[in-house]
Amino acid sequence: MQTLVRGVPGSWNWALHSSHSRLARSSTKWLPISYTGRRPASSAAATAAKTVTSIQEDAKTPEYIYPKYDLSEADLKRINFQRNIGVSAHIDSGKTTLTERVLYYTGRIREIHEVRGRDSVGAKMDSMELEREKGITIQSAATFCDWEASSPITGEKQKYAINIIDTPGHVDFTIEVERALRVLDGAILVLCSVSGVQSQTTTVDRQMRRYNVPRISFINKMDRPGANPWRVIGQIQSKLKIAAAAVQVPIGVEDEFKGVVDLVRWKAIYNEGEKGNNVVESDEIPASVMAIAKQKRAELIEQLAEVDDEVADLVLMDETPSNVQIAEAIRRATVGLKFSPVFLGSAIKNTAVQPMLDGVCAYLANPAESTVTAHDARLPANAPPVPLVPAAGAPLVALAFKLEEGRFGQLTYMRVYQGTLRKGSFIFNARTDKKVKVPRLVRMHSNDMEDVDSIGPGEICAVFGVECSSGDTFTDGSSSFSMTSMFVPEPVISLAIKPQGQETPNFSRALNRFQKEDPTFKVHIDHESKETIISGMGELHLEIYIERMQREYGVVVTTGKPRVAYRETITQRADFHHTHKKQTGGAGQFARVIGYVEPMAFDPETSKDTDFENVVMGGTIPHNYIPACEKGWYEALEKGTLSGNPIVGARMVLQDGSYHIVDSSELAFRIATIAAFREIYAQTKPIILEPIMTVEVVAPGEFQASVIGSLNARRGTILDSEVRDEEFTCMAEVPLNDMFGYSSQLRGVTQGKGEFSMEYRTHQPVLPHLQKELEEAYRKTLPQAKK
């Protein structure tokens, strides 16, 4: 039996230790573990124990009270055969079409319905009316299924339970991808066999890296003319910079595509039957693909030798790894985030989807292989996070990752990381410390649900009637764990909206709901113009909410012109020395602050580009007033005086100051800091920044010149242009300000055959004349200008 031992300094990764003496739950020592690395290099939690080389007790370690929780035999059995996966990709790569096949082959749905299909039913996972009409995924949808997979490692068929989240491709709905990847243990990165790595492929790749999610790649649309999986694999290696190799070669291409050769098990696999239901395996590799299959198997071994020591040793000794050794190495390297095995298929033609599902089970991580940690409020703030254990008997830790307002009230999606969530039980919100009952617990199947009594660790479920925010952690009250939330990008575009006719409560009801569900959708009232401003990730994002207001709440709104989210920044250091003094009869106010502000670059480690540093010595400002100064600094950054936009890229260093024994207060120091910064703002030579987007256009080759011309005319900088057979792709950086109306222009110059996608890249200084215009426009809105 294995026991989970939690480690302290150095490596904070969990490890399994097989000593029976450590089973006692009364043991309370934190144990340093010499093993490092994100995930144990073995397939199952059971074998992970082998990777622990030494465990010693550290006498200096403070004794925090943590019982150790064992993974029982039942836990191990469940976890080994469980996968939580996401399907992510660039727009229109076929994520929803692929998920529909997965649901069909696993028996979750009886019929296949296509995205924009002739039967007008629409795919199961696109349940929202708008999604079906537009043929795009807007919200991620969760479902689950069982799959009997052929294991390349054991050679046997085994049943796996798979939770799947299908995510949108449009970058406007990127938060959906972000929160799905936050709670998943693996992902299928879908790519188009013709277009290859596209702009949003790079985005989801970044998101997968952010949450350390291992992925298999699936090159879809192998039926398309011009399909070239080898070029796509080359792009995965060069553009995404991850070792990748095909684990299959196609049998036939384009119209003739009818199956794949499994390079690991060395079998030809065909789909037969009207919907490809019958998977037929043959030991006979067709002569037409024998040469390429041998070549690609050799390349697979070569790539594995680069990332896996065992295979490298075999290759060095001139030995050929066995099928099982190859499969084990693929699993180790994939789970270890060093490699992505590449599968091929055509979702729409029902070809080679089942072998990819086998790959999900064989090569992606199980819940015990994800190093998931939480912070314990009882530990000092700088204490390393504590790894969670997917043991059913451990105290509950669950993360609410998505909220939805449904017919029956708030529906909260949760991932249970540790312990068991039971219907009727009480759970505690770690942020608010509130105790809530779980009245109803369901497993989601897109918009349908199945009531359950309990949900074990490593599972995804939804609960009704639990008030919380997205990203809240829930426990059973016996621990004080809280998990870090996900990354939420800042909005880049905003729009003034006004309900037509009389304003009804539905207007604010809708806005409140959308804001609660989607942290990238923000609403505020502009104090100067008194208009309601909505902000989001792109025009499509805001359009969808406006449309939903009308459909779901009966509120028709008129909109202003979309405005990009400008920011301000400082370009040089300036020193401040400011005294805030007020004497008006009663208690006075006194605070003096001395220091400087300087430009600050974005710190990728902390994801911050603003900071406050206190270097005050000798108590010239008492330490209890320092937080007030910090608060004042961040408050001052909320609105720059050039254009009223937030200030980024600035650091304040507070060096000195003075106080008055009676008249000083937190308020006085807060006001003094704000005023100090405003006073020297002009000396920092501030400038206005505008959002710059990475734009990718794909169109038939004949339109290349006109597309490039259209981007140049919009102040675009062409970064890359690639011509393939009949199509070309062009990547450019263009200010968002110049992108309004681009979709209709592109339609015009490409006879409707061009497509584009864009994604926020950075903020850059606006041209001087625009800065002047923005400053003037802002000045006019200020109260003194109106007088």
Ligand X SMILES: Nc1nc2c(ncn2[C@@H]2O[C@H](COP(=O)(O)OP(=O)(O)OP(=O)(O)O)[C@@H](O)[C@H]2O)c(=O)[nH]1
What residues form the annotated binding site? 89-96, 166-170, 220-223
Least distance (Å) between residue 204 CB and ligand X: 11
Closer to ligand X by CB, 89 or 564: give it.
Answer: 89
> From the list 77, 116, 241, 581, which residue makes contact with ligand X (rule: CB under 6 A)?
116
**Contact window for ligand X (CB under 6 A) among 35-43, 131-139, 273-281, 635-643:** 131-139
Closer to ligand X by CB, 102 or 629: give it.
Answer: 102
Closer to ligand X by CB, 168 or 321: give it.
Answer: 168
Least distance (Å) between residue 226 CB and ligand X: 11
Closer to ligand X by CB, 123 or 337: give it.
Answer: 123
Least distance (Å) between residue 169 CB and ligand X: 2
Least distance (Å) between residue 348 CB and ligand X: 4
Per-position b or e across 375-402, b if 16+ CB within 10 A of its CB: bbeeeeeebebbbbbbbbbbbbbbbbbb
- Residue holding tokens 């639990």? 466
**Contact window for ligand X (CB under 6 A) among 229-237, 344-352, 518-526, 534-542:** 344-352
> What is the rounded CA–CA span in Å between residue 152 and residue 154?
6
Among residues 518, 412, 417, 506, the alpha carbon closest in space to that of 468 is found at 412
**Contact window for ligand X (CB under 6 A) among 16-24, 253-261, 346-354, 462-470:** 346-354
- Is 346 a binding residue for ligand X by CB under 6 A? The answer is yes
> From the list 169, 458, 471, 519, which residue makes contact with ligand X (rule: CB under 6 A)?
169
- Is 696 a binding residue for ligand X by CB under 6 A? The answer is no
Least distance (Å) between residue 330 CB and ligand X: 24
- Is 610 a binding residue for ligand X by CB under 6 A? The answer is no
Long-range Cβ contacts of 439-448 (<8 Å, 24+ apart): 439/463, 439/464, 439/465, 440/408, 440/464, 440/465, 443/144, 444/141, 444/142, 444/143, 444/144, 444/413, 445/108, 445/124, 445/143, 445/144, 446/124, 446/125, 446/127, 446/141, 446/142, 446/143, 447/127, 447/141
Count the site residues for ligand X by CB under 6 A: 24
> From the list 32, 168, 259, 355, which residue makes contact with ligand X (rule: CB under 6 A)?
168
**Contact window for ligand X (CB under 6 A) among 166-174, 230-238, 306-314, 399-407:** 166-174
Q: Tokens for 545?
A: 């909410």
Closer to ligand X by CB, 143 or 589: give it.
Answer: 143
CA count, 13 A, side-chain hemisphere, 283? 0
From residue 213 to residue 252, the character string flagging contacts with ligand X as x (rule: CB under 6 A) and all else as - is -------xx-xx----------------------------
Phi, then psi, of 334 in degrees rounded to 5:
-70, -50
Least distance (Å) between residue 375 CB and ligand X: 34
- Strands 157-166, 82-89: pairing kind: parallel
Least distance (Å) between residue 89 CB and ligand X: 5
Cα of 607 vs its chain's centroid, Å = 14
Closer to ligand X by CB, 115 or 693: give it.
Answer: 115
- Is 206 a binding residue for ligand X by CB under 6 A? The answer is no
Least distance (Å) between residue 221 CB and ligand X: 4
Q: Which of residues 62-101 bind ligand X (CB under 6 A)?
A: 89, 91-97
Q: Tokens for 356?
A: 């990819």
Closer to ligand X by CB, 224 or 578: give it.
Answer: 224
Closer to ligand X by CB, 169 or 419: give it.
Answer: 169
Contacts of residue 758, defined as CB under 8 A and 6 or more positions apart, other chains included, come to 171, 199, 538, 693, 694, 695, 696, 734, 736, 739
Least distance (Å) between residue 626 CB and ligand X: 48
Which amino acid is residue 371, in one-letter code? T
Least distance (Å) between residue 174 CB and ligand X: 12
> What is the rounded CA–CA span in Å between residue 782 and residue 491?
24
Q: What count of residues does the chain have?
A: 787
Least distance (Å) between residue 164 CB and ligand X: 13
Which letter does DSSP use for residue 346 in this model?
B
**Three-state secondary-structure class, residue 186:** strand
- Is 136 a binding residue for ligand X by CB under 6 A? The answer is yes
**What are the binding residues for GTP?**
89-96, 166-170, 220-223
Which letter does DSSP use for residue 33 in this model?
B
- Provide DSSP, 714-775: TT-EEEEEEEETTEEEEEEEEEGGG-TTHHHHHHHHTTT--EEEEEEEEEEEPPHHHHHHHH
List, in sequence order, every beta strand (DSSP E) within 358-408. 373-376, 386-387, 397-406
Closer to ligand X by CB, 89 or 676: give it.
Answer: 89
Planar angle of CA 739, 743, 746, nearest 5 degrees: 100
Closer to ligand X by CB, 92 or 459: give it.
Answer: 92
> What is the rounded CA–CA span in Å between residue 770 and residue 522?
25
- Is 114 a binding residue for ligand X by CB under 6 A? The answer is yes
- Residue holding tokens 């609105």? 639
Least distance (Å) between residue 115 CB and ligand X: 4
Closer to ligand X by CB, 94 or 456: give it.
Answer: 94
- Provide DSSP, 256-314: G--EEEETTTTEEEEEESTTS-EEEEES---HHHHHHHHHHHHHHHHHHHHH-HHHHHH
Closest chain position to ligand X (CB): 169
Least distance (Å) between residue 438 CB and ligand X: 32
Closer to ligand X by CB, 122 or 716: give it.
Answer: 122
Cβ proximity of 387 and 372 under 8 Å: yes
Closer to ligand X by CB, 347 or 695: give it.
Answer: 347
- Is 137 a binding residue for ligand X by CB under 6 A? The answer is yes
**Contact window for ligand X (CB under 6 A) among 134-142, 429-437, 727-735, 743-751:** 134-142
Q: Tokens for 251?
A: 């049998």
> What is the rounded CA–CA span in Å between residue 512 and residue 50?
51
CA count, 13 A, side-chain hemisphere, 85? 34
From residue 722 to residue 761, the character string flagging contacts with ligand X as x (rule: CB under 6 A) and all else as - is ----------------------------------------
**Contact window for ligand X (CB under 6 A) among 105-113, 164-172, 524-532, 636-644:** 164-172
Please report, as ranges, the residues that interact with ligand X according to CB under 6 A. Answer: 89, 91-97, 114-116, 135-137, 168-170, 220-221, 223-224, 346-348
